Chains A and B, each alone.
Chain A
Amino acid sequence: MKLSLLFLAVGFLLVLFQTTVFHLLPLGPIVPDLTLILCVYWGLNYPTVGAALGAFLLGYSVDVFSSPLLGLNAFAMSLVFLAVYLSSRCIWIHDSVLSAVVVFAAACVKALALLMASSLFLSSDGLWRGLLQYILLDALAATVLAPILFFFFRRGQHYVEAAAMPS
């Protein structure tokens, strides 16, 4: 419970970074999706009910700040968590490089989920131009950052779990 709340607080901090600090970086319109990396980490290393709710809330908070329609990112993030969780039940992934590959795949799943929801609920004729390029750039940015963030998440999780254990 404590760890779930801590992770959620980290998630909101990442949303804050995405809305402010990352616009300082010379990345053009690309905003590295740190919340997606956290969501994948939850699916792989911390698959709990709290994490499932956390993925939903993180997506919802991105919606509150960015989306033209509430629920777009909440749907995409929940779907990503579900997909990663289901994969983690079949394949044991603990290697940093493999985790980055999972993040890349998760970014593609998120993009497809956003596209699907946008096509269903919004006028999306402006969305199709240069789509593949955007999906790839977004996914690559997340993939590059994934090993670093996974390292910090893992260290943080071990630290909190060790502190919670009775001596």
Chain B
Amino acid sequence: MFAFARRNQVLLSSCLCVFLSLSILAAAANGRLRADPVGPLLLALMRPLQIGAHAVVLWVRDIADLSARLGGLASENRQLRERIQDLEAERNRLLEVEATNRRLAELLAFRSQLPSASLTASVIGSSASTWFRSLTLDKGSAHGVVRRMAVVSPAGVVGHVVAVTSRSAKVLLLTDPHSGVDVIVQRSRARGIVGGSLDNGPVMKYVKRSEDVEAGDRLITSGVDGIFPKGLLVGTVAKVRKKSFGLFQFVAVDLAVDPSNIEEVLLVPPQDAPHKEENQP
């Protein structure tokens, strides 16, 4: 018995890992996974590294932008180039400060329209997988973040919080195939669910054939999902297609917010139970 186990220890441990992950998956899916000891620890350990790596990424991006901008000045003499480099660096810094200032002012103005318990947070990481679209924020339960908080920007809806640790939070983006937000067409009040898909971007699902939807229609949150406040812009209808069969029409959506360019967001408490959510990682 022991000899068999010893001979096949790798095989047995692999099978054990498969079963363990399946049981974690089943428990998480049924909402029975109350405490996750590894996840918060991992997030806490990775947080400073993520912040550092994110800063390096931004720095490299700035350098790449700067070098691209300076590429056209190759024929200038050295003194002028140095001068231009200095000015560009200074200008870049000032532009960055100005852009940040503008963004934060917009965020502040937008925040005044939302419930008073809203929080601001910065993005410190993105999804680690092709299959899922998520962001990591620098605020967690210690700052008042809870699960199911709506994540918005002045331009529109970004997603919602799906996991929280004491110092960080994971956001499931609207572009994720597993995501969904209840919306209404502002013009005709037609209802549907906007969610992500893997190929041709976000779509509005479950729109009856009889509903009046046209390209260019603005989509706003309905407020009935208990997460997003009513009336936030989600996006505009990009394309409508009705096949000769089927119950629903196909509606492609242009989201109001491009998640890849977002740096700061606002977190709005869930609308149904504002302060009763437990902080579950």
Binding site for B on A (CB under 8 A): 12, 15-21, 23-24, 29-31, 33, 35, 47-49, 51-53, 55-57, 59-75, 78-79, 81-82, 85-86, 111, 114, 117-118, 120-131, 133-134, 137-138
Contact = CB atoms under 8 A, between A and B. Distances in A.
A69 B33 CA distance: 10
A167 B130 CA distance: 46
19 contacts: A19-B53, A20-B53, A21-B57, A48-B10, A52-B16, A60-B21, A64-B42, A64-B170, A65-B46, A65-B136, A70-B28, A70-B39, A74-B21, A74-B25, A118-B178, A126-B196, A133-B199, A134-B199, A137-B130
B205 to A, nearest CB: 7
B21 A23 contact: no
A122 to B, nearest CB: 5
B128 A66 contact: yes
B54 interface: yes
Interface of B: 9-11, 13-18, 20-29, 33, 36, 38-39, 42-43, 46, 49-50, 53-54, 56-57, 60-61, 125-134, 136, 162-163, 170, 172, 176-180, 195-200, 203, 205, 260
* Interface SS majority for chain A: helix
A71 B28 contact: yes
Given A65-B128, A74-B21, A16 B53 contact: yes
A69 B29 contact: yes
B24 A52 contact: no
A105 B260 CA distance: 30
